[in-house]
Amino acid sequence: KLFCALPTILFFFFVAVTLKAFNVKKLEEKIKNELNETKQELEKVKMENSELIEEIEALEDEMNCGYSDDSSSESSSSSEESED
């Protein structure tokens, strides 16, 4: 009786292993797609961050130039006040 059932058991075992492998393959593809999407989002965020850093540096440069102009005008105005 066992020998008669052996081909059926092996067939179902083969089918189960094949389906499991197919599901693993699909899951692997899904994970790869999500990883690629995450990488693209990361690159987008890096680009935005670099743009923001450039804007901040430009603003800092403007502020530094403004402060140096203000300090020179303040020193000249304070020297004018001391002359009066």
Alpha-carbon span 48 to 29, nearest angstrom: 29
Residue 6: predicted pLDDT: 86
pLDDT tens profile 39-62: 999 999 999 999 999 999 999 988
Q: What is the C-alpha radius of gyration for the chain, rounded to an integer number of angstroms?
A: 36
> What are the helix and strand counts (H, E) for the chain?
1, 0
Q: Confidence band (pLDDT; 50, 70, 90) for 5? A: confident
Q: What is the pTM of this model?
A: 0.52
pLDDT tens profile 62-77: 888 866 544 444 544 4
